[in-house]
Structure 1
Amino acid sequence: MKQISLRLQLIIGLLFITFYCIAQTTSRETTLIDKDWRFNFGHPFDTEKDFGHGEAYFSYLAKTGNGDGPAAAFFDDRAWRLLDLPHDWAVEQSFSEEGSFSHGFKEAGKGFSEKSIGWYRKKIAIPQEDLGRIITLKFDGVFRNSKVFFNGYFLGTEESGYDSFEYDVTEYVNYGGENTISVRVDASMEEGWFYEGVGIYRHVWLQKTNPLHVAQNGTYITTEVHDGYAMVTALATIINKGNYKGDIEVTQTVLNPEREKVTSVTGKGRAPGFYKNTDFTLILKVTNPKLWDLETPNLYCLVTEVKQNGRIIDRYETMFGIRSFRFDPETGFYLNGKSVKLKGTNNHQDHAGVGTAIPDELQYWRIKQLKDMGSNAYRCSHHPPTPELLEACDRLGMLVIDETRLMGINEYHLGSLKRMIERDRNHPSIICWSVGNEEWNIEGNVIGERITQTMQEYSHSLDSTRPVTVGISSGFRSGISSVVEVMGYNYLGNGDIDAHRNDFKQQPGMGTEEGSTFATRGVYFTDDDKHYKAAYDKKPRPTFYSIEEGWRFYAERPYLSGMFIWTGFDYRGEPTPYGWPSVTSYFGMMDVCGFPKHNVYYLKSWWGNEPVLHIFPHWNWKGKEGEEIPVWIYSNCDEVELFLNNKSFGRKKIEQNGHLEWQVPYKAGELKAIGYKNGKRLLTQIQKTTGEAKNVKLTPHKKTLTDSNDLAIVIIEVTDKNGLHVATADNDITFSIKGGGKIIGVGNGNPTSLEKDKFLDVISLINIEGLQEQGLSSEELPNLLVSYPDSNWKEAFKDRNYKNQSPSYVYKGNFELIGGLDKDKITFFYKKIGTQAVVFVNGNKVTASAEDPLKFVLTASVLKKGTNTIHIVATPVYKKHDWDVVNTNPGVIQVITPAEDWHRKLFNGYAQLIVQADGSGDEIILTAKSENLKSTEIVIKQ
């Protein structure tokens, strides 16, 4: 019995080990690695300021694994800034008139060599059990011209700031130990003419798979909708990065929106050859499908399982939707057989406080703001978006035009197009691929025709289900517009749209850009000296049209599928019609914070389904008593009557897609609008003259956060003693935060505000200068610093005979401090120049910190302003080989100057904070205060 028992134990143990190894080597793992990156600025041409990168005799391009400077695996980055991704370093910089007009005048990138190169480094552990799996790094986007290294091995360069890319690091991994990722980002050249941000501004992932697995973006799902059922065609591309040569099975399973199994099918075949691909195409029938549409965006899941010898070695999930759509040249766009007018906006990836590094929840929130406005379509202007934006559009029911960055027919252009389509083609929200925008050099000529035809056919080879469009602005009668599948009209004033339609009656069309109005939120009288535009919807320029004019034009023409307004949100850069100190655009229906301008309510009236009555402006016009104030009403009621202090100014009918106006002599009190539908009173809205600002009010968009990636968008405003919002308030509000969260950005929507987006500690790195040495006769290291003969000092390490060294050496150098020693945190990060060492600063011995024996926190008691002297007594390092390189850099002094308190002036009554959870579960306590106002505090749970 004992022998049987022991035998059973051995069998069970072996089975456990086998199962464990299978689990470790077969399951797909994709892990977000955004946390705890080190960052510092490099330099585009000064290699000393670029930490010696590119100085090695054998560089990373000469010999494999020879990454030098920060690209080297064991580079000391302890003194660098610690941060989380996504990260946009441009938004952190000050504004300068010397900065780029189109990029919001930030001191970063082009023209700022000290802020155009950034280095990111991260250490990750990969266990021994992962040996045998394929290990890859996946980057959703890095702006721009990135070079990536892994353990000092050069992986590649990605020039585009918008393309997602992936590197296989399997053979470079230190299994069972530490591994180093290094990324050099070069933003010294811009790609677009709008704010693009700088840095690793999208997510980074670590992926582990079996050598035989679904390839990158390796599924492609198409659907055909029939009466009572849908046919789902599921292609899976399998890649073999191992030596397996036998049979495999691929099982495709469809899960419904409730994650219940609907149907499944299995295909059998041979594994592809080494480093080759093979496609498995399977067809599944889904009965009574729940269609993806604007109101109920149902999402199905395709689970792809790869089996080898009967066991699952890879599992890959793809979200998709079942729907049909088409563009008709006579009657416009159809979704699931129903006519839908496209009510779209163009948008750049940019938000107050965070720039292009938009967290996932903020992506979702921005799409929801557009959806609540009545918008049903989104054009990615003018580059591929983040995957999370498309996921938000899928979940919320927002149609998408997905756009590549640059037209062309070579590997750079078509490669970018290919990556975009293969990454995004399973998103049900996408209805069109855009391959270009306002390419004036080629829009009207045969070159443009040829390029468009090539890109169009190439797009079809990757995705046969969607048409191609181009946004065209320099004439609608020749060139690209004569061959593109769906005509994209950019602005009514740029050509005769009706005439083009008459010449190309088989070509569907839509307004890919329209409006381009100027408006400053909360401003009602244009002040060109202050760079403020009145927020009434007026024709902005002779060749451009107001939002109302644009919508009327497209709404009245059934053959036009709809229009996309320029833009949904304001964005940094392009501060037309002004320049410095305007730093954001004026085009948005909402400002850079997402606070609505009044055009939002015009669109809500005619794009949405809910009753709307909106009156503006505010009614605080002290000093303008008796002057006529333009009062506008946006509503989808039949009629509206306007009152001031119960005196009627008449009842007016509203035209379809129109608005109402009155001129009202100002008098403090109550401005009231009453809306009527079918003769019955339906809605009432009131604007009251408010008292002085008394209280600060904080309103988060949600009060409970779930994890460290979640956030709350907090509205800051002030109210009078009666709790009424004061629309003219411009108080400077100061914020503090305690508990389990942090503030990551602040804004107010003012296009001329030069206030900071972020309040961060300033980290300065100070080198030790003039390093000298003396040889000593003893290996014993002193506890007290003694006096050394001045005549014996010589340049450190110069002409050192490493085979005949002194028992120990004393080194002396200097560093300069100019800041406040009482507030700054000063640390010496020692880099070993000896096997054992003691350190003295200004004659005082300093002790290493408990967590790091090479880190010395320097207190004010041992420091002084101006020149400080550091001595290091160390036993020497001996070379094993003549070619060994011995470190001669004693380290760096890090000075952290604490940030000032977060604060922001209100702009016409509002400001915004973005608060991110830390995942600790602790409550977040946010406090706001301002001089002469009652402070307030809110609690956000997690």
Structure 2
Amino acid sequence: MKYKILLIPLIAITLFSCSTKEYLTNNTDFNFNWEFKLEDSTSNRFDTTWGKINLPHDWSIKTPFDSIKGEGATGYLLGGTGYYKKDFTLKLNDDQVTYLVFDGVYNNATISLNNQELGKHPYGYSPFYYEITEQLQKNTNTINVTVDRTRYADSRWYTGSGIYRNVNLITKNKLHIPVWGTFISTPQVEQNKATVKIETQLKNGYSEDKRVKIITKIFNNENLKVGSTTKEQTIYPGATENYTTTVAIKNPDLWDVDKPTLYKAITQIIENNQVVDTEETIFGIRSIKFDANTGFYLNGKNRKIKGVCLHHDAGLVGAAVPKSVWRRRLEKLKDAGCNAIRISHNPASNEFLDLCDEMGFLVQDEFFDEWDNPKDKRKNMNEKGVDYITRAYTEHFQDWAERDLKNTILSHRNHPSIFQWSIGNEIEWTYPRNAEATGFFNNMDWSGNYFWSTPPNSIEQIKKKLVTLPQATYDIGKTAQKLAKWTKELDTTRYVIANCILPSSSYESGYADALDIIGFSYRRVLYDYGHENYPNKPLMGTENLGQWHEWKAVMERPFISGTFLWTGIDYLGESNGGWPKKGTPSGLLDLAGFKKPSFYMFKSLWSKSPSIYITTQTAEKSKYKIDNNGKVIEKKEGAWQKALWFWQDVNEHWNYDSNQITIVEVYSNSDTVELFLNEKSLGTKKLADFEDHIYKWAVPFEAGTLKAVGLKNGKKVESLIKTSTKPKALQISTDTKSVLADGYDTVHIVLQIIDNDGNPVKTENQKVLFTVTGDAKVLGVDNGSITNTQDFNSQELITDKGRALLIVQSTKDSLTPIRIKASSNTLTSNEIEITIIPNKKKQ
């Protein structure tokens, strides 16, 4: 098996004009100038007024959190029925066809053009499109999209509501490459040469034969042509044909997580010496390999997968995430040494995958969280019942699964970042026979035996139970085989995997037989069991705890390729019964994208660069204590080996009562660390002496500066925290001083309360108000806390740890600078000015 690559069509000429004076090209951004109104099914309120919006759009994130009507499964945010419409004009000639392409609508969408229904689309995550040529009118056209999100607890996490991903309008000659009609792969990759395979689909919408040339030119990342291929072909009227050519590339620059070099293929369809269609595809040259004994290889190099799981929301922007918001978050994960993302538990957006291509993240693209049988969103694995608001994709799976899976592959298969297709997530418990065979279910403790015990039933017992237990309507093995078959009909260059929560039964039920790799969900205790009993099947962790013991298990076993931690970033939802907790705080980053202590722990494990970070806690609240010899030890011996999703309670400040005993924790990859309090050494310690990989000191509090100095390979690295005094001002900072006037680009404004010396004050909070002037759209505010239930859709909030985040988005074509300030009842901030850049890239 090898690798894969690519991506997306662009291009060309001015073809028609919109009623809004937009000039459309053959791949037109169709996100602007929509109208929207909402029917709120929970309060029987119907808003008859259409408001102007741009896409992507998530209406649920703009509503207040509701602990009474809402469900914690989806973050206590409500749904309803949303109505979208857009008027446009389109001047086509008789030689043209037009497609309307949606990258994702959540969910149960009905799409119409000029009062003619184009179709329905139930799944909220798969891309889809319609050819709309026949429905077009010569004058004004109206697109209508109705989104039925009245089943607002239809997921186990926050989904968002509406047209939350990009929409494009693509116009082409009748003789053309259809939507998703190009597939580029690299079947042979060596250091000095590579073979690029180009599969092109061609459609002839004319009533006569067409003799064409199919020319593809390959350009490197410096835009120099490095190869080309030409194929002449006759295509019959009304036919759609597939053509394959190859190009040899000398001394290729390989796509790698450390150097994600991209290439560009431009394919032209030429008839009678005229170019009738042009398609641009971005791709990468790389090879992938999984070995059952030695793990994962990228471009022939054995390496560990340092991955995290991510849901598709991004805090205050909900599911409609601007690309620059994802970029900020991914940059931070990259800083921690992360090199892979599992999109859980649904297909990603193409825009997100573009970023992974550009930034160097491997991606596991996951298709489904439900198959034949439903999951109870309120009770997770405790399947007590399914009512109207929790009914979800299972109702559509039999009719739609093949279309949704194949649309996803066709749309995504050119992204070099994707190296695995996951056909399902923790599916086993929805099949009673499969679940009962293990001996775990109905005898399972989420704090104990599941994580740390081997299967109660032997392999022979599991085999017997799978034969003797009553058969259900659907069989997990047969469904898995079907999904894997559909996947490989379109792409054999990636590995098929699934996240298995009960691998001991999945090995015997036929489920694992459908997979190229079996993924273990929280079952690192079974790594040796799986390798010894099923030695020919590669395995890895696909959902694991963000703790040292999980990574230690991977590092000790060459046959384990790596892991995906749950999770890289905190997410909304999966919080039933937890109000005011609105989300799940298992991430390395919080909801606002701020780094958490666990981030620094994994940076010390994953990053090649020296790293060090200090946290503190009172001895009373700490998980550690001081023994009779003055050594800091665990209050519960060996607790680190069974730590679960959430990091221990620690502080990132140095503010306590005088002489109060504190436990100082230092996360570092340094071989030794020396701790100083007000320049006085408190001793040097060795990492090798801490089996839980955390340096620890017991320190009586004294106001001033606490500093840790590490030494790794002769290089020094340090971290310090200072005692803060009375709040003196609000300090705001930004991740950029300029944004593009494209209506998409964003600026993140971080506010921190500071004292007179500029030290962050993390122990006091105030209600702050952001003031924004200039042509900009305020996307909202957050403080990162999982229990913050203040409206995101605001410009004021109470800080957490003295900190808050504001996100502002540019306005299309407006060049008025954006100015931002903040204030509270007693404090004011500095002012930041954001420059608007027209029609060119930011410097």
TM-score range, shorter chain: 0.7 to 0.9
C-alpha contact 2:729 2:753 (8 A) present in aligned 1 = yes
C-alpha contact 2:778 2:807 (8 A) present in aligned 1 = yes
Change (3 A) 1:272 1:936: farther
1:734 equivalenced with 2:769 (yes/no): yes
TM-score by length of structure 2 reads 0.81
Amino acid of the residue matched to residue 643 of structure 1? Answer: F
Within a 5 Å distance, the mapping from 1:797-816 to structure 2 comes to none
Secondary structure of the 2:277 match is: strand
Amino acid of the residue matched to residue 71 of structure 2? Answer: S
Which residue pairs with 2:707 in the alignment? 672
Amino acid of the residue matched to residue 916 of structure 1? Answer: Q
Inter-partner Cα distance in structure 2 for 1:728 and 1:317: 53
1:427 equivalenced with 2:415 (yes/no): yes
Change (3 A) 1:344 1:45: closer
Larger Rg over CA atoms: 1
Inter-partner Cα distance in structure 2 for 1:21 and 1:917: 25
Amino acid of the residue matched to residue 40 of structure 1? Answer: K
Secondary structure of the 2:177 match is: strand
1:41 equivalenced with 2:69 (yes/no): no
Change (3 A) 1:469 1:657: farther
Change (3 A) 1:21 1:160: closer
1:163 equivalenced with 2:133 (yes/no): no
1:441 equivalenced with 2:434 (yes/no): no
Change (3 A) 1:591 1:198: same
Which residue pairs with 2:816 in the alignment? 922
How far apart are 1:681 and its partner, in Å? 6.6
C-alpha contact 1:554 1:560 (8 A) present in aligned 2 = yes
Which residue pairs with 1:634 in the alignment? 667
Which residue pairs with 1:365 in the alignment? 328
Which residue pairs with 1:685 in the alignment? 719
Moved more, 245-254 or 478-487: 478-487
Inter-partner Cα distance in structure 2 for 1:372 and 1:645: 30
Secondary structure of the 2:315 match is: coil
Secondary structure of the 1:498 match is: helix
How far apart are 1:242 and its partner, in Å? 3.0
Secondary structure of the 1:476 match is: helix
How far apart are 1:382 and its partner, in Å? 0.4
How far apart are 1:221 and its partner, in Å? 1.0
Moved more, 189-198 or 717-726: 189-198
How far apart are 1:185 and its partner, in Å? 0.3
Identity, % of aligned pairs? 34
Inter-partner Cα distance in structure 1 for 2:656 and 2:543: 40
Corresponding residue to 1:103 among 71, 74, 89: 74
C-alpha contact 2:569 2:591 (8 A) present in aligned 1 = yes
C-alpha contact 1:492 1:550 (8 A) present in aligned 2 = no
C-alpha contact 1:325 1:333 (8 A) present in aligned 2 = yes
Inter-partner Cα distance in structure 2 for 1:20 and 1:648: 69
Secondary structure of the 1:215 match is: coil
C-alpha contact 2:822 2:828 (8 A) present in aligned 1 = no
Amino acid of the residue matched to residue 492 of structure 2? Answer: S
Amino acid of the residue matched to residue 301 of structure 2? Answer: K
1:571 equivalenced with 2:544 (yes/no): no
Change (3 A) 1:483 1:503: farther
C-alpha contact 2:85 2:142 (8 A) present in aligned 1 = yes
Secondary structure of the 1:560 match is: coil
Which residue pairs with 1:913 in the alignment? 806
Secondary structure of the 2:58 match is: coil
Amino acid of the residue matched to residue 637 of structure 1? Answer: S
How far apart are 1:303 and its partner, in Å? 1.0
Change (3 A) 1:700 1:619: closer
Change (3 A) 1:22 1:699: closer
Inter-partner Cα distance in structure 1 for 2:702 and 2:327: 42
Inter-partner Cα distance in structure 2 for 1:562 and 1:239: 43
Q: Deviations over 1:30-82 (max 9, x none)?
A: 11121221111136799x9779xxxxxxxxxxxxxxxxxxxxxxxxx8x4111
1:209 equivalenced with 2:240 (yes/no): no
Moved more, 368-377 or 484-493: 484-493
Secondary structure of the 1:184 match is: strand
Q: Deviations over 1:501-543 (max 9, x none)?
A: 111111111110011xxxxxxxxxxxxxxxxxxxxxxxxxxxx
C-alpha contact 1:929 1:936 (8 A) present in aligned 2 = no
- Aligned CA RMSD, in angstroms, stands at 2.4
Which residue pairs with 2:404 in the alignment? 416
Inter-partner Cα distance in structure 1 for 2:67 and 2:14: 60
Q: Deviations over 1:95-146 (max 9, x none)?
A: 112311111111x12xxxxxx101011111213x545411221111110001
Secondary structure of the 1:451 match is: helix
Change (3 A) 1:272 1:395: farther
C-alpha contact 1:352 1:746 (8 A) present in aligned 2 = no
Secondary structure of the 2:588 match is: coil
C-alpha contact 1:449 1:483 (8 A) present in aligned 2 = yes
Which residue pairs with 1:502 in the alignment? 532
Which residue pairs with 1:181 in the alignment? 143
Which residue pairs with 1:553 in the alignment? 553
Within a 5 Å distance, the mapping from 1:468-617 to structure 2 comes to 468-477=496-505, 478-479=508-509, 480-481=511-512, 483-492=514-523, 496-515=526-545, 547-575=547-575, 579-617=578-616
Change (3 A) 1:685 1:621: closer
Inter-partner Cα distance in structure 2 for 1:383 and 1:165: 15
Unaligned runs of 5+ in 2: 1-11, 18-23, 373-396, 436-465, 468-474, 617-650, 837-843
Change (3 A) 1:251 1:501: same
Q: Deviations over 1:876-930 (max 9, x none)?
A: xxxxxxxxxxxxxxxxxxxxxxxxxx11221112211111111312211111111
Amino acid of the residue matched to residue 415 of structure 1? Answer: R
Within a 5 Å distance, the mapping from 1:930-941 to structure 2 comes to 930-941=824-835
Which residue pairs with 2:205 in the alignment? 241
Inter-partner Cα distance in structure 1 for 2:520 and 2:112: 44
C-alpha contact 2:73 2:156 (8 A) present in aligned 1 = yes
Inter-partner Cα distance in structure 1 for 2:410 and 2:234: 24
Change (3 A) 1:460 1:31: same
Within a 5 Å distance, the mapping from 1:360-399 to structure 2 comes to 360-399=323-362
C-alpha contact 2:588 2:595 (8 A) present in aligned 1 = yes
| More contact order relative to length (CA 8 Å, sep ≥ 6) | 2
Which residue pairs with 1:696 in the alignment? 730
Which residue pairs with 1:117 in the alignment? 81
Which residue pairs with 2:484 in the alignment? 456
Q: Deviations over 1:769-807 (max 9, x none)?
A: xxxxxxxxxxxxxxxxxxxxxxxxxxxxxxxxxxxxxxx
Secondary structure of the 1:602 match is: helix
Q: Deviations over 1:833-872 (max 9, x none)?
A: xxxxxxxxxxxxxxxxxxxxxxxxxxxxxxxxxxxxxxxx
Within a 5 Å distance, the mapping from 1:695-774 to structure 2 comes to 695-707=729-741, 708-759=743-794
Which residue pairs with 2:223 in the alignment? 259
How far apart are 1:737 and its partner, in Å? 1.1
Change (3 A) 1:20 1:651: closer
Within a 5 Å distance, the mapping from 1:817-828 to structure 2 comes to none
How far apart are 1:551 and its partner, in Å? 0.9
Amino acid of the residue matched to residue 750 of structure 1? Answer: S
Inter-partner Cα distance in structure 2 for 1:550 and 1:357: 32
Secondary structure of the 2:181 match is: strand
Unaligned runs of 5+ in 1: 1-18, 52-76, 110-115, 516-545, 760-901
Inter-partner Cα distance in structure 2 for 1:217 and 1:433: 18
Change (3 A) 1:20 1:81: closer
C-alpha contact 1:620 1:668 (8 A) present in aligned 2 = no
Moved more, 255-264 or 623-632: 623-632
How far apart are 1:457 and its partner, in Å? 2.4
Amino acid of the residue matched to residue 400 of structure 2? Answer: Y
Aligned length: 710
1:32 equivalenced with 2:29 (yes/no): yes
Secondary structure of the 2:740 match is: coil
How far apart are 1:729 and its partner, in Å? 3.1
Secondary structure of the 1:198 match is: coil
Amino acid of the residue matched to residue 421 of structure 1? Answer: I
Inter-partner Cα distance in structure 2 for 1:664 and 1:630: 6
1:327 equivalenced with 2:290 (yes/no): yes
C-alpha contact 2:110 2:145 (8 A) present in aligned 1 = yes
